[in-house]
Amino acid sequence: MMERINIIMTHIHQGLLSWIPSHSPDLAEVIDDWFLQNRVPEIVIVAGTCKASGGNPEDPRSLRIMTALLTEMISMEILNDYERKNNPQALWLKVGAERAMHYSHMLQVLFGQLCSQVDQDAAIDKSVLHRFQQSLLIVLASRNRMRIKDVPTWEGYWKYTRMATGYFTGALAAAGAELVAEPQSQITESCRNFGYHLGLARHIISELLHFSEASLQFTGSRNISLGVLYGLQCEHPDQTELKQIVWQNHLDLQKKRVKEILDGINTRDYLIWAALTEKNKALESIGRCPDENGKKFLETLLKEYFNRVPVFDNVDTIDIKQDRKVEIPKVEVDINSGFSGTLSLAYQSIGLGIRKNIRDQPLQINY
């Protein structure tokens, strides 16, 4: 399957280049550089779930959809790299922040153009793109909330993490299935759940690496790492002391003491357990998919994310105390609310209410 994925990515690469105007050869260079750095990009999730659902990710229709989705994903990645400043290969480091933002905007416009070029009678394709756009709005809303420099609650942290990571990869996984199955079918939901748990697992892995580097707080904000947040949520003798350190914003000053507290409650083991829990849930989710080769590819893809981190070598389970297994809260996001269009706007302000009444009733003029 990996050989086929390489072929698919070559098709998408060439297809994307074909959409770049001749007057913007520098954008083509940006795309070429991106593909060199990303041998197995996130878009392969769409190809994998399409195959697992019984479809053909190599047909022109599937390739066209994946090309459109990847265009917007690259645009978002450029913005994310500049915001996080943790990628040494980021575009803004090569061409400067202003030009990087310009390229991101160009790709957003190109994504809109690709969406508009979908055949008018391709109702399924339009539906897939529409739901992907909805997912982007949810992701951006969550990221905007995360920029607030405050200490999150356990429930709030996972709510916005689910929206920013789990929901997005879930939408990608569902997109591949929707090219084959009905949007509300069991197959599509299985793929969506696979992507959701994959996204959470990858997020926890990144937090585990962050914790292993003795990082307790993210640069430029009061947003604390998951390891510290676990220490605030988990009941233990030093919980009150840890809360005082966090709320006084003394994490850097008390880093050694905080690490002692977190090591004392085996925080690292908890992060490993949480990641493995999401991994197992993802594997369980794709059981209903009909194509065995597609399912095997998704399993391989999931395991590859874990194989990149040495701590997971030959580790399928880890024992931690039952009272330390703090569950990730389930938070539902109704993606349909807020997407009903302008005709359903509620006229709540006085000014809009007056204007609505004027439109609804003929204007009366008394001489």
- Tens digit of each residue's pLDDT (9 = 90 or more) over 149-174: 677 789 888 988 888 888 899 999 99
Look at residue 215 in the predicted model and tell me its pLDDT: 73
Look at residue 335 in the predicted model and tell me its pLDDT: 46
Q: Domain range holding 112?
A: 2-330
Query: Is 70 exceeded by the pLDDT of residue 318?
Result: yes
Instruction: Give domain status of residue 54, yes or no.
Output: yes
Look at residue 41 in the predicted model and tell me its pLDDT: 87
User: For residue 80, what pLDDT band results from cuts at 50, 70 and 90?
Assistant: confident
Instruction: Give domain status of residue 359, yes or no.
Output: no
Q: What is the mean pLDDT of the chain?
A: 84
Instruction: Give domain status of residue 356, yes or no.
Output: no
Residue ranges of the alpha helices (H) in the chain? 2-18, 25-37, 44-52, 60-84, 91-95, 97-116, 123-146, 154-161, 167-178, 186-212, 226-233, 239-247, 255-264, 267-285, 292-307, 350-360
- Residue 68: give its domain's CATH number: 1.10.600.10
Instruction: Give domain status of residue 251, yes or no.
Output: yes
Instruction: Give domain status of residue 284, yes or no.
Output: yes
Instruction: Give domain status of residue 112, yes or no.
Output: yes
Provide the number of structural domains found in the chain.
Answer: 1
Look at residue 361 in the predicted model and tell me its pLDDT: 52
> From CA 343, how far away is CA 120, in angstroms rounded?
23
Instruction: Give domain status of residue 358, yes or no.
Output: no
* Listed range (48-57, 88-97, 177-186) with the worst mean pLDDT: 177-186
Q: pTM score, two decimals? A: 0.84
Instruction: Give domain status of residue 335, yes or no.
Output: no
